[in-house]
Amino acid sequence: MANKKNKLHFSTKSIHVGNKIDETGAAVTPIHFTSTFRQPTFASTSKYVYSRVGSPTLAALEENLAMLENAKYAYAFSSGMAAMTAIFMMFKPGDHVLISRNVYGGVFRLVTKVLNDNKVDFEFIDTTNLDTIAKAITENTKLIHLETPSNPLLELADIKKVSELANKNNILVSVDNTFMGSYGQRPLDLGADIVMHSTTKFLSGHSDVLSGALMVNDDSASEKITLIQNTGGALPSPFDAWLLLRSVKTLSVRVEKQFDNAGKIAKWLDSNSLVTRVIYPGLKSHKQFDLATKQHSCPDGKPVYGSMISFELDQSINLDSFAKKLSIITLAESLGGVKSLISCPYSMTHASVPHDEKAELGITPNLLRFSVGIEHADDLISELEFAMNHN
Ligand SMILES: Cc1ncc(COP(=O)(O)O)c(C=O)c1O
């Protein structure tokens, strides 16, 4: 990437980095639908050999993804969970890994049901508290994995402080940045070592691609991830890679609008007597409002608070009849897209987390997670109001 381009703004780079114009002059990066590449001789190889190991579409995407997090390297995966699995595969038996206690249910399932026999010692802790992390560190701790904001309680971990603590102890820090979608938070700049995304969410932004990504600066982490990625083979197809590359071009405008809508809706929910709890990092009532203001910033430095809101409806409201009244807000898992989605973490994304653990965390049956899209905020508010009052 030429130096000149590094001085450009995020929204400009989102469109141009990786999207080179080739010798045909096509204004849009083409999709290379091929699994293999012709080689010059039996003994020598050209730039691309086999699509599991690298392809022009994937290379364009990875250059673009690295830019989003100011990273030296980016790796695309076939899903966020494939990216997450790749992080955990970097560690060996006896290693100790600390994980934010209310991570995405799939990550909880991966650790407790799939990787529990491979002898890496995983421990879930409250990563909102630096002392808790410091006390949990042992001589075998190799990684602290933060999900911040967390899903669905929007708890924050102080990436800068955790990274300082980890650095002193030679521990890597990985951050699941899915909820802020790069535009609202860039963990590598705050000292983290690995950024992970379910790019299925904000980066793809249209609820039509399943994919994931890892971004790193460190050469040795990069070597390990390269091996895991091209040997494990959990890569996006050329079409998914291309769709994602196209989607990132509009990331900043989509996300700005989503953040703006969410701020308005969170305030409205907060003033509604049928809503018993609103969790949104942009409300002063959020326990970590100050940290959110410091840590979540768009690339020009303005504080932003995301477009995920969790709120609890009054017990008098029947959730099913509330959901039946919704038409522009879709009852579905996932988040980050232009189309608003609503889900119930208790019975959906976090179904695999035992009831007692959910109760302890505060994931109650009537807690809803709202992923605010780019529809007009007034239309979204009207629909919520109607569904609450015609129950
Ligand atoms: C915070 C978070 N991390 C990881 C994942 C997993 O991503 P994917 O569904 O793309 O595998 C999700 C999915 O909802 C998520 O919300």
> Ligand 1: which of 104, 148, 240, 352 to mutate, judged by most atoms within 8 Å of the beta carbon?
104
Q: Let me know if 284 is exposed, middle or buried by CB neighbors in 10 A (0-12, 13-18, 19+).
A: exposed
Q: What is the pLDDT of residues 335-381, one digit of tens each?
A: 999 999 999 999 998 887 888 988 888 899 999 999 999 999 999 99
The whole-number average pLDDT for the span 72-98 is 97
% of the chain with per-residue pLDDT over 70: 98
Residue 3, pLDDT above cutoff 50: no
The whole-number average pLDDT for the span 287-291 is 98
- The pair of structure tokens assigned to 267 is 């305030």
251-389 carries CATH number 3.90.1150.10: yes
Nearest CA to ligand 1 atom 14: 334
Mean pLDDT of the chain: 95
pLDDT score recorded for residue 288: 98
pLDDT score recorded for residue 357: 84
Nearest CA to ligand 1 atom 7: 80
pLDDT score recorded for residue 205: 98
For 74-97, letters b (16+ CB in 10 Å) and e give: bbbbbbbbbbbbbbbbbbeeebbb
| Domain covering 3-248: architecture | 3-Layer(aba) Sandwich (3.40)
One-letter identity of residue 279:
I
Q: What are the extents of the domains in the chain? A: 3-248, 251-389
Least confident of 88-102, 107-121, 146-160, 222-236: 107-121
Q: What is the pLDDT of residues 243-279, one digit of tens each?
A: 999 999 999 999 999 999 999 999 999 999 999 999 9
Of 385 and 362, the structure prediction assigns the larger pLDDT to 385
Residue 1, pLDDT above cutoff 50: no
| Centroid of ligand 1 to alpha carbon of 105 (angstroms) | 9
For 3-40, letters b (16+ CB in 10 Å) and e give: eeeeeeebbebbbebbbeeeeeeeeebebbeeeebeee
| Centroid of ligand 1 to alpha carbon of 203 (angstroms) | 12
Nearest CA to ligand 1 atom 15: 104
Catalytic residue IDs:
52, 104, 176, 201
pLDDT score recorded for residue 4: 56
Rounded to whole angstroms, how far apart are CA atoms 94 and 298? 39
Q: What is the pLDDT of residues 217-236, one digit of tens each?
A: 999 999 999 999 999 999 99
The whole-number average pLDDT for the span 121-138 is 97
The whole-number average pLDDT for the span 312-322 is 95
pLDDT score recorded for residue 6: 62
pLDDT score recorded for residue 353: 80
Residue 65 to residues 10, 191, 215, 245: CA-CA distances in angstroms? 12, 18, 8, 8
Residue 99, pLDDT above cutoff 80: yes
Rounded to whole angstroms, how far apart are CA atoms 307 and 316? 26
Residue 5, pLDDT above cutoff 60: no
* SS3 at position 96: strand
Q: What is the pLDDT of residues 13-58, one digit of tens each?
A: 999 999 999 899 999 999 999 999 999 999 999 999 999 999 999 9
Q: What is the pTM of this model?
A: 0.96
Sign of CA dihedral 279, 283, 287, 288: positive
Enumerate residues lining ligand 1, CB below 6 A.
79-81, 104, 106, 147, 151, 176, 178-179, 198, 200, 210, 212, 334
Q: What is the pLDDT of residues 48-68, one digit of tens each?
A: 999 999 999 999 999 999 999
pLDDT score recorded for residue 248: 98
Helix (H) or strand (E) holding 375: none
Rounded to whole angstroms, how far apart are CA atoms 362 and 357? 9
Preceding omega of 281 cis (within 30 degrees of 0):
no
- The pair of structure tokens assigned to 180 is 């802020």
| Centroid of ligand 1 to alpha carbon of 359 (angstroms) | 22
Backbone angles phi, psi at 367, to 5 degrees: -85, 125
Residue 344 to residues 122, 241, 366: CA-CA distances in angstroms? 27, 30, 7
The whole-number average pLDDT for the span 288-295 is 98
Assess contact for 170 and 130: CB atoms under 8 A.
no
Contacts of 145 (CB under 8 A, 6+ apart): 87, 97, 98, 99, 100, 103, 173, 174, 175, 176
Rounded to whole angstroms, how far apart are CA atoms 371 and 349? 13
